[in-house]
Amino acid sequence: MTDRVRTEVAPKAGLTTAQVAERVARGEVNDVPVRSSRSMAEIVRANVFTRFNAIIGGLFLVILVVGPIQDGLFGFVIVANTAIGVIQEWRAKKTLDSLAVIGEARPTVRRDGAAVPVSTSQIVLDDVIELGPGDKVVVDGEVVEADSLEIDESLLTGEADPVVKRPGDTVMSGSFVVAGGGTFAATKVGREAYAAQLAEEASRFTLVHSELRSGISQILKYVTWMMIPTAIGLIISQLVVERHDWREAVRRMVGGIVPMVPEGLVLLTSMAFAIGVIRLGRKQCLVQELPAIEGLARVDVVCLDKTGTLTEGGMDIAELRPLAGHDNAYVRKVLGALGAADPRPNASLEAIINAYADDADPGWRCTESLPFSSARKYSGAAFNEPDGDSGTWLLGAPDVLLPATDPALAEVDGLNDQGLRVLLLARARKDLNDPAVASAVTPAALVVLEQRLRPDAADTLRYFAEQDVHAKVISGDNAISVGAVAGKLGLPGAERTVDARHLPADRHAMGAELDRAAVFGRVSPQQKRDMVGALQSRGHNVAMTGDGVNDVLALKDADIGVSMGSGSEATRAVAQIVLLNNSFATLPSVVAEGRRVIGNITRVATLFLTKTVYSVLLAVLVAIWQVPYPFLPRHLTLLSTLSIGIPAFFLALAPNKERAKPHFVRRVMRYSLPAGLIAGAATFVTYLLARHHYRGPGALDAETSAATLTLFLVSMWVLAIVARPYTWWRILLVLSMGAGFLIVLVTPSLQEFFALKLVGTQGPWTAVAVAAAAGVVLEFAWRRAAVTDGDPAPRTGAQRSGLT
């Protein structure tokens, strides 16, 4: 252990202001643009240059050639949708960028002999940068000073064991300090540091894998392949049927292809995510990867680190209990000396310093020190006292420093049962640099610490319990003490505590133990990682919260990592969600936002895919029957706007607390496929009946109007089902869309513009009757699909399907 103790090196004063200016002028500055979002050009490019915009744009140009312009309304809808997408993502970008500045790491550098915090982008070549526990190494460099410096390079190398660093050793950006402190000189800045390039890519605004986005991509792939043969068949049939008027054939062909494209679905998904970012940003929650909103809504196990999550960072000394006849005043003097010997104290030592700093004897000289590490569970220092005596002292976990038979442990257990944290002050009989220093100690005192419970923790735990999300408290502290704290907060199963040192190493066996218990103590950093993996191996979606360096490995491996804003730079770097207000109570808001996105996108996806299914079916039936396609593009633009476009916009942004369910594509198709088939079949039946009924000039317009009426009524029935359960605004939304169509039917100028005019009474009432019959069949099919979906409760179709 000689490599872990303090290494005395003359401190380096750092660069002067003039030297910094010279390096900036030469471009030797850490100018890697760390951005949390896409640039404006990338946003515009991503929203404008899409596959479906190209398809719709091409069809729009065709309509501009054959006319009239009202058949090209769908092109203006695409422009409006794209503009909305750009504006919403730009708003999300502004929110993310502002939050990223708040959460950005500000390393401390030495300049002109003084320590000053600077932004990462202001570091220059040869800057001397200070390091402490939890600090992230932001550029590549060479160690100048080492004070028991241990660095975790697992994020770069995959090796979990900390690496001891001495003067002259190299450090790489992306690693972080787990114990000790020191300084290093920057040797590579900006894009020269390979790890910095990786960090830049990892920190960008990303739309990475999510079930929603991958599911929608899968749907769009299928739609693309269906469009090609359907479009070819439709073109051929319309040219054959309408050979006397190729312009009319082209218009009706375009009318058959356009509604197959669910172009608004991608837009609304991105917009729902973007608005989620904006809403959470107002609550000081930084979402570093957009699908994390969705991911947290899907988790069924959340692993909580006690310190900083259930409890606040600070602690207070509740009691000091000398042991084995040690003098109280002498013990206080030792504790004061230990506090003075550590330049970077943790929360426990901060409480000791606050209580016993005045008891420290300035005559005590620290000869070597050992900083606290969550892996070894203790810290220590060796002193020369004014009277010539010397001694080595350790401060740490009693059950780690004492044998299991020591009578002092019974006293410790009693204190832990009260939810108090207990540290043991012990005198070591071996040198601090001896690997077995903790194996031979003489207890001197118990330091009893009182933890400050977060006032909002109990409500948050209650929320997770109500949502069937199992909370597991995983802590490096004593299991009994952690269980007592969790019990005070009302955690279900808090009485079942497990000492992680007795957990099996086998992942399957560990997972079974994790399913049975709720509180785990004395968990090492590597064990936290193993426990997350064990839960995942049993099919759980796992979220991990934490704020210390001992949580980094588990945060990185969890499905969703959540870090406190006051946590170490390392935890903030690997977490997908950062709670900048340090409030555990923000998590329910993230879950709620994710459920809103998932539930609402499932709603609107059902609307869009219903339209795609009936459009394909109508095109196929038209090709088989060799009849003119019943609709012009303007008709389907009107229907899509009233029954899908406008309602989907409001439904996608509405509150939704339904628990997230898996298998997005299967669930959406289970509802949209029968709905689309019923709508398409009913529309075609009306069209054939109208062709039989109407004769002479204007018959095609009358046939189209009757078919349009049926399709609109069935589409509104689908909308009415999807909008359940009803609230005042949802009822108003459905009625408003119906009123909009009625206005078109009774207004002469709109009748002419949209080429819609109901002729006589038999045709329109036949259309209404067919739509009513289709609605009955639709309700039956929807309820049957709901039962197949695993919810047999006798409620409305949308409620049972999870679309609420």
Cα separation, 683 vs 616, whole angstroms: 13
DSSP letter at 12 equals P
Burial class (CB in 10 A: 0-12, 13-18, 19+), 163: middle
Cα separation, 454 vs 100, whole angstroms: 25
Give 368's Cβ-side CA count (13 Å radius). 17
Cα separation, 689 vs 711, whole angstroms: 14
What burial letters (b/e) apply to 495-521, b meaning 16+ CB within 10 Å? eebbebeebeeebeebbebbeebbbbb
Whether residue 609 contacts residue 676, with contact meaning beta carbons closer than 8 Å, is answered with yes
DSSP letter at 129 equals E
Helix (H, G, I), strand (E, B) or coil at 367: strand
Q: Which pair of tokens denotes residue 52?
A: 């479906």
Backbone angles phi, psi at 272, to 5 degrees: -65, -40
Phi-psi region of 106 (alpha: psi -120 to 50; beta: other; left: phi over 0): beta
Question: Catalytic amino acids?
Answer: 305
Whether residue 581 contacts residue 565, with contact meaning beta carbons closer than 8 Å, is answered with yes
Q: Which pair of tokens denotes residue 222?
A: 């299928």
Report the DSSP pairing between strands 497-499 and 519-521. parallel
Q: Which of 670, 661, 736, 751 is nearest to 704 (CA)?
A: 751
Q: Which of 418, 454, 100 is nearest to 304 (CA)?
A: 454
Helix (H, G, I), strand (E, B) or coil at 433: coil
Q: If residue 238 lies in a helix (H) or strand (E), which one and from where to where?
A: helix 211-241
* Integer Rg of the chain from CA: 34
Whether residue 336 contacts residue 359, with contact meaning beta carbons closer than 8 Å, is answered with yes
Q: Which pair of tokens denotes residue 164?
A: 């001891």
